[in-house]
Amino acid sequence: MQADVVIVGAGHGGAQCAIALRQNGFTGSIAMIGREPEPPYERPPLSKEYFAREKTFDRLYIRPPQFWDEKDIALHLGVEVTAVDPTAKQLTLSTGETCGYGHLVWATGGDPRRLSCAGAELAGVHAVRTRADCDQLMGEIDGGVKNIVVIGGGYIGLEAAAVLTKLGCQVTLLEALPRVLARVAGPELSAFYEAEHRAHGVDLRTGVAVDSLVGEGRVNGVKLADGSVIPADAVIVGIGIIPAVGPLIAAGAAGGNGLDVDEFCRTSLPDVFAIGDCAAFACDYAGGAVMRVESVQNANDQATAVAKAITGDVQPYRAFPWFWSNQYDLRLQTAGLSLGYDQTVLRGNPADRAFSVVYLKGGKMIALDCVNMVKDYVQGRKLVEAGASPDLERLADPGVPLKELL
């Protein structure tokens, strides 16, 4: 097997790269290799609308299945890359076949980080990363599983907890840090979401450490460091991902926390790019810090940048980061990265369930979180992009439109 461009990974980044290549006039052969059996589909709805049974799977396809044939993009699904030979420009596949490439785009994302404690391999312990993960858990709930412990107070854990309560489950959420969302948001937002989940019946506990999972063959409880045991019919682990980059690192690509890429998404290997959750780059919106940005926006925009580079329009990646999360009837929209902030300004009253938190560093706006405040998000992201230093008194007044502060 041989293709001019081989894309490894059939998620958002991989799909967008293939689409953008054709949109930019690329007429060479394109092959996409994905380890799941399904054509490319949207990931965020897995822990939201799909899990809640509000969307059927066929509504999650990034493009209709026939699209890939129509665009002459060869899909090789249910297949993994096990080795890369950058000198011969050849991949070894889990089927035993080999695949040659002209350009290689690595868009594999990551694997759910697993617990390292005893009992982590018991049946009934789940991640929420793929369709198969969700289908298995949904099947167990349909079969009578009701008492569920969620480990991890990041967005995946919180979104799963919100859906599970909607489905009538008894949910306990455990977070090792002193507050939920501690790595990505300020105390104001953490306190708000903790109160919301508790108001919806979630037994949310922060600052707790898991000792082990207990059960014979199947999990039936979570033992905490203090010796207490929380009964559990099932456990969801949402404690982050490990970048799926093993074959490229083994082939000599530079990287530690993912694959190191330059401003053009190029790895240290010739004609090999990396995009999305597995790519670590110097981010302009984080003061040049090298980091991975786990978002659909980042995956899609890096994919487009790589497609343009392959077709001759080489430009550095400078896209503005943004994120979102749906929990209950709350729509959170985030613009920018709050890393290293030294001040926050609250716009509105969290008790009204519509407010914004603005993050500043040295007086400049670097990010904002908007809960049910679409206007603040739309107008505020322009302030963040501009690195504005607004008057703090006016910034704190929700009656002052943010566009007036630009």
Q: What is the mean pLDDT of residues 361-379?
A: 96
Q: What is the pLDDT of residue 48?
A: 83
Average pLDDT score over residue span 121-148: 94
Residue whose tokens read 């010796």: 227
Q: How confident is the model at residue 24 (pLDDT cuts 50, 70, 90)?
A: very high
Confidence of residue 53 (pLDDT cuts 50, 70, 90): confident
Q: Report the pLDDT value the prediction gives residue 345, as an integer from 0 to 100.
A: 96
The string of pLDDT tens digits covering residues 180-197 is 999 999 999 999 999 999
Cβ contacts of residue 165 below 8 Å, gap of 6+?
171, 200, 201, 202
Rounded Cα distance between 97 and 1, Å, is: 8
Mean pLDDT within 142-154 = 95
Q: Which whole number is the average pLDDT over 202-216?
A: 97
Assess contact for 318 and 284: CB atoms under 8 A.
yes
Mean pLDDT along residues 129-154: 94
Judge whether residue 126 has pLDDT over 90: yes
pLDDT exceeds cutoff 90 at 46:
no
Categorise residue 336: left if φ over 0, alpha if ψ from -120 to 50, beta otherwise. left
Instruction: Read off the pLDDT of each residue in 282-297 and give the average, rounded to a whole number.
Output: 92
Two structure tokens written together for 363: 């007086």
Closest to 179 (Cα-Cα) out of 200, 197, 166, 201: 197
Dump pLDDT digits (tens) for 218-264: 999 999 999 999 999 999 999 999 999 999 999 999 999 999 999 99
The average confidence (pLDDT) of the chain is 96
Average pLDDT estimate for 198-221:
97
Q: Is 73 helix (H, G, I), strand (E, B) or coil?
A: strand
Tell whether the torsion through CA atoms of 141, 143, 147 and 152 is positive or negative. Answer: negative
**Residue 51 clears pLDDT 90, i.e. is over it:** no
pLDDT at 52: 84
Model confidence over 308-366: pLDDT tens digits? Answer: 999 999 999 999 999 999 999 999 999 999 999 999 999 999 999 999 999 999 999 99
Q: What is the pLDDT of residue 269?
A: 98
Distance between CA atoms of residues 329 and 122, nearest Å: 34
SS3 104: strand
